[in-house]
Amino acid sequence: MTPEQFRQALKEKGIELTDTQMAQFANYFTLLVEWNEKMNLTAITEESEVYLKHFYDSLTLAFTNDFAKEAFTLCDVGSGAGFPSIPLKIAFPNSQVTIVDSLNKRISFLTTLSQSLGLEGVHLYHDRAETFGQNKQFRESFDYVTARAVARLNVLAELCLPLVKKDGYFLAMKAAKSDEELVEAKKAIALLGGKVAKEEDVTLPITHDTRHVVTIVKKKETPNKYPRKPGTPNKQPLK
């Protein structure tokens, strides 16, 4: 996917990028490749693949949620190189984005990136998701919380749902639909105050790869004991 194909494909989905926004994505790509030589940010470094599998893929969340309607707050848990939150911030500049990542090197990259792209309203925290979710300043305060992670849904739910405000949404980005994973996570989601609102498949252009977005609405407060201590959700997932 060339930058121009990226722009056109998004336009067809109702997202029209300005020249300034296109320049921000170009700068993002350059910095990603530069920093990737010093530290492992991504295995994907070809321009066409970055635009498709990172930039476009991140923005598929806007196909299933109306981000253009009004300013929103979004927390990205374990953002890595800034996906999906930084592409969403570029496309929807009125948003307030909070990124929490456990690796300080990645936070250094994201700090440089935000400054280079001139992004305002990006807040970066070097922390474990479990600790961050117990912080009263952030707990149950975000319109949207997302994770583009490989962890199973019952683990992601414990890390993300405590940060979602009531009537807000946890958006889980999965590589593929898994009925088994959703069944496994149903009790955990309910225990944490959530309810599955919808599941949607999104197809990427060119490769026709499918992505799966699970939208979970927060219906009631998460019990204070969750998330549990760092490492526990992975070692002992809620059943």
Is 148 annotated in a binding site? The answer is yes
Is 78 annotated in a binding site? The answer is yes
Question: Is the separation of the CB atoms in 155 and 233 below 8 Å?
Answer: yes
Is 118 annotated in a binding site? The answer is no
Q: What is the largest CA-CA distance in the chain?
A: 48
Tokens read off for 210: 């499918």
Which secondary structure element, helix H or strand E, spans residue 223, and what is its range? none
Is 180 annotated in a binding site? The answer is no
β-pairing, 96-101 vs 73-77, is: parallel
Question: Is the separation of the CB atoms in 199 and 182 below 8 Å?
Answer: yes
Residue-wise DSSP of 110-173: HHHHHHHHT--SEEEEES-HHHHTT-TTTTT-EEEEEE--SS-HHHHHHHHGGGEEEEEEEEEE
**Cross-strand partners of 91:** none
Question: Is the separation of the CB atoms in 169 and 215 below 8 Å?
Answer: yes
Q: What angle do CA 138, 98, 225 make, to 5 degrees?
A: 30
Is 129 annotated in a binding site? The answer is yes
How do the residues of the chain divide into helix, strand and coil, expressed in percent and rounded to 5? 40, 20, 35
Neighbours of 234 (CB within 10 A): 13
Q: Which residues make up each annotated binding site for S-adenosyl-L-methionine? A: 78, 83, 129-130, 148
Q: Which residues make up each annotated binding site? A: 78, 83, 129-130, 148
